[in-house]
Amino acid sequence: MSTKIDLKEAISIGIGGMVGGGIFAVLGLAVALAKGGTPISFLIAGFIALITSYSYVKLSLKYPDRGGTVKFINQGFGVGVFSGGINNLLWASYIIMLALYASAFGSYAPNLFELTSNKVIDTHVYASAIVIIATAINYYSISVVGKIEAYAVIIKLIILLSFVGFGIYGLFGNTHLEQLSPAYWESPFKLVTAGMVIFVAYEGFELIANAAPDIENPKVNIPRAYYWSVLFVIFLYIIIAAITVGSLDFNVIATAQDYVLAEAAKPMLGKPGFTIITIAALISTFSAINASLYGGSEVNYEIAEDDELPKEFTHKLWNQPIGLFITAIATLVLVNTLKLESISTAGSVGFLFIFAVVNYSGFKLSEETGSKKSIPILGAILCFTAMIALLIQQYSVNKFDVFIALGIIAFCFLLEIFYKKNE
């Protein structure tokens, strides 16, 4: 029986990685930052993801490896303190994404079933419980994780595309449609930085890199998998953002910021629509947690195998890499100590930095990969500039978020320096 991944499955990996919990977690945040210009912010973030996917295509074709991003960084910079620090940041960014998804799950779940009269307590209980359940599933069987992903991608896409269909129909004659006009947009700089805060909603396309060795007819299917999945998700996010801004008053969006997509279904489908989108959010975030736990533990294992972390990380605990347990514990700590915006900012800063480095690897290795030098260097500049813009904007609004993001980056490099000095 063939274990090869066909084009449809490869595209599903990309779409599933992006349309995980991201859109459910950050849509309300995006509207709070960009107001009527939210679709533009999603377009800006998507453009940077699309440029970066070019580097991923070329690197995946030349260096197909289950280590994916870890492999590309090591190829571009050699195994050392810098590559080790960036790869540690990739592992940390997986943990941040897990916290983001768990936080979103915790925000949506009390709308179906309240545990206490305190929404904050309910959010933390649900967020913690889903991480523990997903960790147990990962320990029980990796094949179950794969089956959950396969079904979850179909369910969430059917529900989101239905939301888009009803939403476009519902926009005609809607009283809030004028909110999409440029008069309601924030400044261009704020539109860019809003796009960068929500950049985490696009990072999942990099999962295709881990599957590259198993994709059939790679020369044709790897480029198609990256480009088609990213373009589809850009289109999907822009429409969802437009429907949300066009359906709800900004005050309502602010009140329901953590579960705004469910609220946006109310004007067209009433309470059943709210419930259906809430269920879609729970399925999506749960499947994203499941997949990211597996991905995070694999990244940690790869880094240790490349001697950028102690060999002890290649050891097994309850028949799975020890990184799975550490990833789960770190996620529980983050989701119970940081706010959603802090988590999203840290995740976006991490991935923008990582993608800047991958793009620069693509530039350095352009002769080996046969890529045009101009596109990877443009990607590197865009990612790095976007990261700086995000840090500047967030520093003026919430210095704590910036210190958290920079602290995580510093910790990843200090960890590598300490390991290399003491090995």
Confidence tier at 173 by pLDDT (50, 70, 90): low
Residues 378-387 pLDDT 10s: 999 999 999 9
Residues 314-357 pLDDT 10s: 888 777 888 899 999 999 999 999 988 899 899 999 999 999 99
Number of domains, the chain: 1
Q: How many CB atoms lie within 10 A of CB 104?
A: 33
Q: Is residue 98 part of a domain?
A: yes
In percent, the amount of the chain with pLDDT more than 90 equals: 53
pLDDT for 257 equals: 86
Q: Is residue 2 part of a domain?
A: no
In angstroms, the CA 259 to CA 264 distance is 9
In angstroms, the CA 116 to CA 112 distance is 12
pLDDT for 175 equals: 67
Closest CA to 391 of 381, 399, 383: 399
Lowest-confidence range among 80-94, 134-148, 275-289, 329-343?
134-148
Q: Is residue 296 part of a domain?
A: yes
Average pLDDT over the chain, rounded to an integer: 90
Confidence tier at 3 by pLDDT (50, 70, 90): low
Q: Is residue 224 part of a domain?
A: yes
In angstroms, the CA 109 to CA 119 distance is 10
Q: Is residue 232 part of a domain?
A: yes
Q: Is residue 119 part of a domain?
A: yes
In angstroms, the CA 225 to CA 218 distance is 10
Domain range spanning residue 305? 7-422
Q: Is residue 198 part of a domain?
A: yes
Confidence tier at 87 by pLDDT (50, 70, 90): very high
**Which range among 55-64, 107-116, 309-318 has the greatest average pLDDT?**
55-64
Residues 239-250 pLDDT 10s: 999 999 988 899
CATH code, domain with 318: 1.20.1740.10
pTM: 0.91
Task: Check whether 174 has a pLDDT greater than 70.
Answer: no
In angstroms, the CA 359 to CA 79 distance is 17
Q: Is residue 1 part of a domain?
A: no
pLDDT for 1 equals: 38
Closest CA to 243 of 326, 174, 325: 174
Whether residue 178 contacts residue 322, with contact meaning beta carbons closer than 8 Å, is answered with no
Q: Which residues pair with 35 in a beta bridge?
A: 185
